[in-house]
Structure 1
Amino acid sequence: MDKVIKFVVALFVVIAAASLAYVVFSAPPATAAPSSAVNDSIVYYFYGQGCPHCAKIEPFMENITRNYPDIDIRMLEVWYNQTNQQIYAQINAEAGISTPPGVPEVVIGKTVIVGEVDIPAKLEGYLQAIEKKK
């Protein structure tokens, strides 16, 4: 009788393991939730209200949004807006930046441009490339 119980328990364990393996390995892979970053057609401009560097390029950024109306340029204030701070951290992480560099900052996919000098010098070239893709 002891052997029968051991056999039934062993059979139960094998069936349970096989069932679990079937569920795990036959299920379709989970699809990732759509991510807003790593999308090189969205331009994120992060700035801080009261930041003197951001203030210097504010007219440039306003002109850029007018000159490229068909490009999705998202201007997000991150010093006082907690939701935008979370987006800032997420977008930087997706771009491969573990510690965000500060503001002003532009992120396009995995491209990061920082500062009042580099943003005006480089951003328009990236925007022209985005327009050509459309």
Structure 2
Amino acid sequence: MTKIIFFLGQECNHCHVMFPLVDRLEKEHQDMEIQRLEVWHHPENVETMKQYREAIKKEYGEEGLPTPTFINLDTGKALVGETSYEDLEAWAMGK
């Protein structure tokens, strides 16, 4: 089972664009488990996000903890920012 963490901000407009895409990904891929962690109002989730700082920096290109950010626990890779469903799906499947 593919495990993904979706770090989001409750008021983040880019995150809101991604919500239906993440829901669709879960629906179409029953073998994926996506954990949603809100980081703007939950400091404990920020601490979890910091564990993936190097993967985020590699994708994002600079220091920071941007939202939305996805971490694929199987590949260790990050996906940062708003993207298309097709790109999200390909990334989630390790392509």
TM-score, with normalisation over the residues of structure 1? 0.55
Tell me if 1:83 matches 2:44: yes
Q: Which has the higher contact order (CA 8 A, sep 6+)?
A: 2
Larger helix fraction of residues: 1
Question: Deviation above 6 Å: which 4+ runs of structure 1?
Answer: none
Q: Percent identity?
A: 25
Write the distance in 2 (CA, Å) between the matches of 1:116 and 1:91.
18
Q: Which has the higher strand share?
A: 2
Q: Which has the larger radius of gyration?
A: 1
Partner of 1:124: 89
Letter in 1 for 2:92: L
8 Å CA contact retained: 1:54, 1:104? yes
Q: Which residue of 1 aligns with 2:70?
A: 106
Provide the rounded CA distance (Å) in 2 between the counterparts of 1:83 and 1:101: 14
TM-score w.r.t. the length of structure 2 is 0.74
Q: CA RMSD in A?
A: 2.3
Matches within 5 A, 1:57-68: 57-68=18-29
Name stretches of at least 5 consecutive residues in structure 1 with no aligned partner. Answer: 1-40
Q: 1:48–1:104: 8 Å Cα contact kept in structure 2?
A: yes
Take 2:92 and 2:66, find their aligned partners in 1: how far apart are those partners? 22
Cα separation, 2, equivalents of 1:48 and 1:91? 17
TM-fit CA distance, 1:99:
2.5
**What is the one-letter code of the residue matched to 2:91?**
Y
